Structure 1
């Protein structure tokens, strides 16, 4: 893991300051601030509709804030070419809109062109192909590198998209509910590979959106709790992920435990009179 003092001294990868986001007259985010430094791995947690994916869209330079400032990799939104900036951010969306039966290797290589489909008449260099194969192996898909997209399980697709996001060697990886639709085996394989990335890419920062704490990798270092578009708590996981904080966030009595680096959530039973 990155030395905490070196991380604190390095320029932030993300800086969000006093952000509001209003859409169709509805305020979705209210005065949200967040700073992510190199080597930190954040979780954005909250109930459905709390604003998690909306905030992730700002972090990925997909949209502008209504008020406040957002800096991604040192560039302030509104003063930079958004499309170019997005090419330096690894954004993993399980709703990837691929409609052709590309092989795993070709899907991963589209991370270099920042496109969903292969660009006509574009061919990767031998070094780029070798990098794609290394990432495919790292994500546990070595035996599936020639498999076609429609034949992949949901878990295999998720890991393929992470390898794709890592192709341009980004400093920031954004994961929007990566375990959506996975069975237990697929979820555990995905979490294991994300945790491996945190060890093999020590300078990489990540932000993962979920509303299931069981989906958090053990290497998660920080968390933000969102409720109704507002930040309820933000900071190191040991300070933020507590039973009381989560009960407030989800408006339900919750008991949180952690075993072998993984979190478990249960409803807290009301005491009997």
Structure 2
């Protein structure tokens, strides 16, 4: 049974079509990249999956929950999300492991009593993804890349079945981005780890950890399938509607616009 299934899904807001005729299936143990330019509908697609937005028509089933028929709150507890917009929700003086622990309560602060054992769970999780050097640090003193790493650890506190990363490298320099992608590789190696949905407009961020890629343009799926067959010169030239070259270096795909002869 697929963990995500969208059938003929449409999403209209204020009379404008945001997503149109979306058909998409994600199987267990598949990690997907969703590639599209700004304004293509990537974030809207994710909000439908998380039930933050509600479909106008069509059928959505996520982790066995049929939207419109089954209760949604239990589903939200099974989905983790990381995005630069979340980083702004926390007090700058919060301790790193305390921030990670907030993921258990889906809150930006610890409003319930907690023990040292609870913090030990958060610290162990930080160690698992290579964030042990951040234990005891003050959130406001961390770099953007370190903050994103904490948010990943926080999202894993609920042992999610799906982990969504929405433009997670925004604001990161070249080396911080590489370190973050390395941490995502570690997550794919975890026993019973989550299915990753990685949203980006940078093809070079789609590593070999993402077996499948979906191309989204103007609210429509242009193509989807095995990453190695999607990130090709022909497919991406059609997708971007302009000629491009695709170079693969050290397992990464670099898309280069072709120069005009005129």
1:42-81 alignment runs, 5 A limit: 42-81=32-71
Write the deviation string for residues 176-226 of structure 1: whole angstroms up to 9, x where unpaired: 000001001110100110011112245521111100011223311101001
The alignment's C-alpha RMSD in Å is 1.7
Aligned equivalent of 1:185, options 175, 179, 182: 175
Q: 1:98 aligned to 2:115?
A: no
CA distance in 2: counterparts of 1:201 and 1:224, whole angstroms: 25
When the two structures are superposed, what TM-score results if normalisation uses the length of structure 2? 0.93
Partner of 1:122: 113
Aligned equivalent of 2:30, options 32, 40, 43: 40
CA distance in 2: counterparts of 1:179 and 1:115, whole angstroms: 22
Gaps of 5+ in 2: none
When the two structures are superposed, what TM-score results if normalisation uses the length of structure 1? 0.89
Aligned residues: 260
Aligned equivalent of 1:242, options 232, 239, 253: 232
Partner of 1:227: 217
Shift of 1:26: 0.5
- In structure 2, the CA distance between the partners of 1:211 and 1:147, relative to structure 1 (3 Å rule), is same
Shift of 1:247: 1.9
Q: 1:133 aligned to 2:123?
A: yes
- In structure 2, the CA distance between the partners of 1:203 and 1:189, relative to structure 1 (3 Å rule), is closer
Write the deviation string for residues 60-108 of structure 1: whole angstroms up to 9, x where unpaired: 2222111111111110122333333211101112211424121110111
CA distance in 2: counterparts of 1:131 and 1:216, whole angstroms: 31
Q: Does the aligned pair in 1 maintain the 2:5–2:62 contact within 8 Å? A: yes
Shift of 1:125: 7.0
Gaps of 5+ in 1: 1-10
CA distance in 1: counterparts of 2:6 and 2:77, whole angstroms: 20
Shift of 1:260: 2.5
